[in-house]
Structure 1
Amino acid sequence: MKKFPVDLSLQQIAEIANGELILSHECSCNAVASLEEADEHSVAFFQDPKLENVFQSSRAGVIIISKKNDIQSLPQRNYILCEMPYVSFLRIIAFFQRQIHKPVKGKDIHPTAIIHENVTLPDNIRISANVVVHQNVNIGDRTVLDENVVINKDVKVGKNCHFYPNVIVYNDVIIGNDVNLHAGVVVGSDGFGYLWDGGKHQKIPQVGGVIIEDDVEIGANVTIDRGALGDTIIRKGAKIDNLVQIAHNVDVGEYTILCSQVGIAGSSKIGKNCILAGQVGVADHVKVGKNVKIGAQSGVPNDIPDNKIVLGYPAMDVGLQRKILVSLKELPEIRKFIHRLKKKDTHDSSE
């Protein structure tokens, strides 16, 4: 349960949820919670039939449910009928959060921050302690830089961005609007490029940049390398989980999701609206089409066409991979059977 220092009427909640209020009794709510944890001042939602018993016994002040439910068959209580209960529940959480977050108004700059004189700051910005901003940086309106953020020279940051503590942005990076970089993110570090000259590994200069488009969220301790010549690109609406490594010149498509510990090698292209589950590894110069789903811990050494669901190493069609996995369980018996056949063949030959 999460409580907030603001009370909302049921009518207000229904309006935020874009739903229809079915009123049993008047109350106000100042919290969001699961069905199990909810009290009489909490908003909860019900969508999963597996939670039917919990739903029946919930003490929530109001429960968001699907319009498809038959109200007459449900316990008498406050409901809000919505097309998509979980989506409406998220709207309510977001509304509560907006009420407690301090709005970014004016230039709120901590005295320990170091800002180069050749930096363009907006009228509304919050810069916390020990932030360092180098020369020729342009930052958009209502952006927040938390403690110990470092932004190197020749960087452009859009509006409504939030860089959490210890984010490092190297030079020659372009970041769009509404971008969140969580703690420890590093953007624009050198790509991993070396050439064996017969005696040692010679470093290949990494002189490209990074472009992060609008509405991107990047989890804690993600590293995004700069391009070797061109740019590494994270396109609009992409969401990246914690501990992801994105190598030089990778192109991550619009609205694609990269789950924790995904690693993408250099110059690979991930299409629009893909999902790469945890610990997926993508080899260099691979092209993954749009609407592709790749199962956890899969290895991708080759291109994948559009609209595929793949799994395993090497990643292949999920149906085929499941058959292979089922077959693996039978290998011990198959081995015994083959061994018996060999013994029988040897015995027959000796006769």
Structure 2
Amino acid sequence: MELNFTPAEIADIVQAHATRGNTHEIVRGIASLSTARTGDLSFLGNPKYKPEVATTAASVVLLPADYVGEPNPGQLFLLVDKPSVALVRLCTRVERLLWPTPAPGIHATAVIAPDVKIPASATIGPLCIIESGARIGERTHLQARAFVGRTAQIGDDCWLMPGVTVTAECVLKNRVRLQAGVVIGSDGFGYEFIAGRHEKVPQLGNVIIEDDVEIGANSTLDRARFSQTVIGAGTKIDNLVQIAHNVVIGQHCLICAQAGISGSTTVEDFVVVGGQAGLAGHLTVGKGAKIDGQTGVNSDLDPGSFVKGSPCLPYNLEQRINVLRKRLPDLFRRVDEIESRLEKPSAPV
């Protein structure tokens, strides 16, 4: 990735409040403070790296407005409210250059049912399949090999990356972004043991994904056994996440990679689920709860909880237990020594 921005263009994009120093270098790349070279832009997103600002070779540095210090010769400091947010603004501009919006139109290899109307503003890529009764919204883009099942509904300004599958009767509202390989509406994992064998339970519901949801590559969301599996507005789901049937996830949640949520569990608004965490079924996770990575949740969580471990405990308690766990070998050695001394016969008086 090579950029081509003047310092003035960068200052405008990141909405800098003030500047210190000056540089005539064209910004050609983005790098960390420690690895940046002349022509790079860097930023102070974590106070831990503040000492590196004085030694960085970056030509342009994004810094918080209260930063105290002067740039080196030929270096420009841009003072902003939040350097990480300012960098997002710049990367959003770069993303548009790297992956421009596809031109509207339908590729000749797409297979579209005769009753499906494609808006003139939409893009249907190579080898896409759209079945009867489906709806495609304005300015929505289906990249290569996307599949939209019978009567599925795709809203406006959605983006389906290559190989995405949206099965029958599922609903995506507006501005939904699905990365490559996402499956929406796979059958829920439901079986009854009847006469010595596992008999499949029909999964008759669907999946509803609200506005502004983003889902990472190869994640799967199962259709409900009945009614709906629901993902609330603004929620972001990472790669390789499994959402089971009849799960309801609230608004603006974060679900990190390889997490799994079992059937009929409700996750309320603003919950954060760490990577590889597992949630048992038929639970309620209260609003604003935080679940650490690799945590196993097998009971309801109160709003605002912060838990860790498997089975989960309050975060600070689990941290204390982890510290004590490291001392167990020494504790057992000391107990063995005490038992050994107690078992020795005392000397005769």
Same fold per superposition (TM over 0.5): yes
Question: What SS class does the counterpart of residue 65 from structure 1 fall into?
Answer: strand
Q: Deviations over 1:114-172 (max 9, x none)?
A: 01111131221121111111011111112111111111111111122111111111111
Given the superposition, is the C-alpha separation of residues 131 and 66 from structure 1 closer, same or farther in structure 2, using an over 3 Å criterion?
same
Deviation (angstroms), 1:264: 0.7
Q: Does 1:325 align with 2:333?
A: no
Deviation (angstroms), 1:58: 2.9
Give the corresponding residue for 1:13.
Answer: 10
Give the corresponding residue for 1:217.
Answer: 214
Deviation (angstroms), 1:342: 5.2
Map 1:292-311 onto structure 2 (within 5 A). 292-311=289-308
Deviation (angstroms), 1:214: 1.1
Q: Deviations over 1:254-291 (max 9, x none)?
A: 11111111011100011211111111010010111111
Aligned residue among 95, 98, 101 for 1:97? 95
Deviation (angstroms), 1:237: 1.1
Give the corresponding residue for 1:79.
Answer: 77
Partners of 2:46 and 2:337 in 1: CA distance: 51
Map 1:207-286 onto structure 2 (within 5 A). 207-286=204-283
Given the superposition, is the C-alpha separation of residues 327 and 27 from structure 1 closer, same or farther in structure 2, using an over 3 Å criterion?
closer
Give the corresponding residue for 2:123.
Answer: 126
CA contact 2:251–2:268 (8 Å) conserved in 1: yes
Given the superposition, is the C-alpha separation of residues 340 and 254 from structure 1 closer, same or farther in structure 2, using an over 3 Å criterion?
same
Partners of 1:339 and 1:215 in 2: CA distance: 60
Partners of 2:45 and 2:183 in 1: CA distance: 38
Partners of 1:343 and 1:62 in 2: CA distance: 68
Partners of 2:311 and 2:98 in 1: CA distance: 48
Identity percentage over the alignment? 34
What code does the residue aligned with 1:176 have? K
Given the superposition, is the C-alpha separation of residues 332 and 63 from structure 1 closer, same or farther in structure 2, using an over 3 Å criterion?
closer
Given the superposition, is the C-alpha separation of residues 325 and 36 from structure 1 closer, same or farther in structure 2, using an over 3 Å criterion?
closer
CA contact 1:105–1:142 (8 Å) conserved in 2: no
Given the superposition, is the C-alpha separation of residues 174 and 75 from structure 1 closer, same or farther in structure 2, using an over 3 Å criterion?
same
What code does the residue aligned with 1:92 have? L
Deviation (angstroms), 1:192: 0.3
Aligned residue among 133, 136, 156 for 1:136? 133
Structure 1 length as normaliser, TM-score?
0.91
Aligned residue among 62, 65, 70 for 2:63? 65
What code does the residue aligned with 1:96 have? V
Query: After the TM superposition, which of the residue ranges 322-331 and 206-215 deviates more from structure 2?
Result: 322-331
Give the corresponding residue for 1:192.
Answer: 189
The structure in which a higher percent of residues are strand is 1
What code does the residue aligned with 1:189 have? S
Question: What SS class does the counterpart of residue 124 from structure 1 fall into?
Answer: coil
What is the aligned-residue RMSD (CA, Å)?
2.2
Structure 2 length as normaliser, TM-score?
0.91
Aligned residue among 15, 24, 36 for 2:22? 24
